[in-house]
Structure 1
Amino acid sequence: MSYDLKSESEVKEYINNLGIEYRFGCYSEKKPDVCHLLADFLEAIKKDYEKAGRVYKNNCDEFKYGKSCLKYGGYCLTGKGIRNSDYPAAYSYFEKGCNLDEPFSCFNQAILLVTKNDTFGVQQDVLKGMNLLEKSCDAQNATACYYLSGLHIAGARNGSKVGEKAEKDNYDIPRSMEKAFKYALVGCELGNMYSCANLSQMYAKGDGVEKDLKLADKYKQKALDLQSETENNSETLKFGLGLENK
């Protein structure tokens, strides 16, 4: 059946039928991908975050669907649909998603591990966090590559805050501009504009790579091009982000 999506009544009918189709595919046919679509439908169309959260949670726990683990972990992190934030539960679901090879779940799990914040209820472990960022970066998560680059720019240790320079000779992750360059290059190639901006500065200064002003200009322009392509971006791109405190 075709619908006239310019007709309000037919749009409503289409949406209603879509919900019925997703419920049947999830509850009767027990298809994990359809259950995830049902949760997305409840979240985006119905704005019923409590029900959406229950579907995401069940789809993660029962059907081992990584994207649903990631989504429910996000609900736990923000308190969406569950009234209050629960960081340990968020960590648990991000870990489940990561073990199911969902790269953004690995990234979120890593961020909770490398961040020093006593309110999280998650013990800081920068080495484990770095390993998870590497897994996420290897799965082509550009943001994870950018964070990895930043960790190697500043160095890190347990007890330090993200971006805080570690004490000399007391690093869990030693400073390495060569490794910082490596991950900035991957992040830039994957489309992370901040990685491209840092890459430009590395080439301009000869940090971690041989100085090359032409390549510095090339990656500066790429960063600016990526910024212009980003819709509704209110942030101002800063070149050398993370480099000024190295």
Structure 2
Amino acid sequence: MFQKPGCHRLGDYLEAIKKDFARACNVYKNNCDDYKHGKSCFKYANYRLVGKGSAMDKVEAQRYYHLGCEAGYAKACFGVGLGLTSPDSGLEQDVSKGLAFFSKACDMGSADGCYFASSLYITGREELPRDMRRAFEFAVRACDLKNMQACSNVALMYARGHGVRKDASQAERYRAIVNDYNEQLKQNRGIEMEQGIKD
């Protein structure tokens, strides 16, 4: 008898090795429908969002992001949030609900969920007033989850006193996190290039 992860891996095999996107799409859908496997719900939603292996259907995609989120898959919760807050999503917008899904994704360990929640509070919308204190809180959480754009924002907020008391030493600390990360990326790229140049 198939198990949830086994079915999902079959979909990944059909996608990555066989390049049979239509069959992969069906496997992901069935694994979501029959076994409520969150990652499969998410993958099927992605397929329907862009019309891969199936017809494009943004409403169907959003429904399956919901199912994936209900099954406890953070990326699916983030997908729901994007659909509800992105003006070009083609879906009815509801910023408050979208924020709730970003927050849920954040609580589940999604750096993107934390970062997008922070961004909504920074910019504000007609139905969601700016709140720099909440923006700061979500930015710190996103930074803790290794989102470097969020770390840059935290540094700037400390430097300017936006949403938090001005603190030059903390601003410098968060700038150092970003600089260290960028330096590590450069070193990793150098190592990869050296490994690629072999006799």
Same-fold call, TM > 0.5?
yes
Partner residue, 1:195: 150
Equivalence map 1:136-215=2 (5 Å): 136-157=105-126, 172-215=127-170
Q: How many residues align?
A: 188
Deviations 1:202-224 (A, max 9, x none): 01101111111111111112123
Q: Which residue of the partner structure matches residue 64 of structure 2?
A: 93
Query: Which amino acid letter does the alignment assign opposite residue 65 of structure 1?
Result: H
Larger Rg: 1
1:58 to 5, 27, 30: 30
Structure 2 length normalisation: TM-score?
0.89
Cα root mean square deviation, aligned: 1.7
Does the C-alpha gap of structure 1 residues 140 and 197 become closer, same or farther in structure 2, counting only changes over 3 Å?
same
Query: Following TM superposition, by how much is the alpha carbon of 1:230 offset from its aligned partner in structure 2, in angstroms?
Result: 5.2
Separation of aligned partners in 1, 2:182 and 2:111:
15
Aligned partners of 1:94 and 1:105 also within 8 Å:
yes
Percent identity between the two aligned chains: 41
User: Is the CA contact 1:193–1:224 (under 8 Å) kept in the aligned structure 2?
Assistant: no
User: Deviations for 1:57-81, whole angstroms, at most 9, x for unmatched residues?
Assistant: 1000111111000000000111111
Distance 2:116 2:53 in 1: 29
Map 1:2-13 → 2, pairs under 5 A:
none
**SS in structure 2 at match of 1:132:** helix
What is the one-letter code of the residue matched to 2:68? Answer: G
| 1:41–1:228 Cα change, 3 Å | farther
For the 8 Å contact 1:39–1:51, the answer to whether it is kept is yes
Query: Which residue in 1 is equivalent to 2:79?
Result: 108
Q: 1:198 to 1:92 in 2, by over 3 A?
A: same
1:227 to 1:49, Cα distance in 2 relative to 1, 3 A: farther
Between the aligned partners of 2:80 and 2:4, the Cα distance in structure 1 is 22
Tell me the residue number matched to 2:194.
Answer: none
Higher helix share: 2
Q: Which runs of 4+ in 1 moved over 2 A?
A: 224-233
Q: Structure 2 stretches of 5 or more lacking a match?
A: 190-199
**Could you tell me how far 1:114 is from its partner in structure 2?**
0.7
Judged with a 3 Å threshold, the aligned counterparts in structure 2 of structure 1 residues 229 and 81 are, in CA distance, closer, same or farther, namely: farther
Counterparts of 1:184 and 1:143, CA distance in 2? 10
User: 1:127 — aligned with what?
Assistant: 96
Q: Report the Cα distance in structure 1 between the residues aligned to 2:44 and 2:182, rounded to whole angstroms.
A: 30
Compute the TM-score of the two structures, normalised by the length of structure 1: 0.73
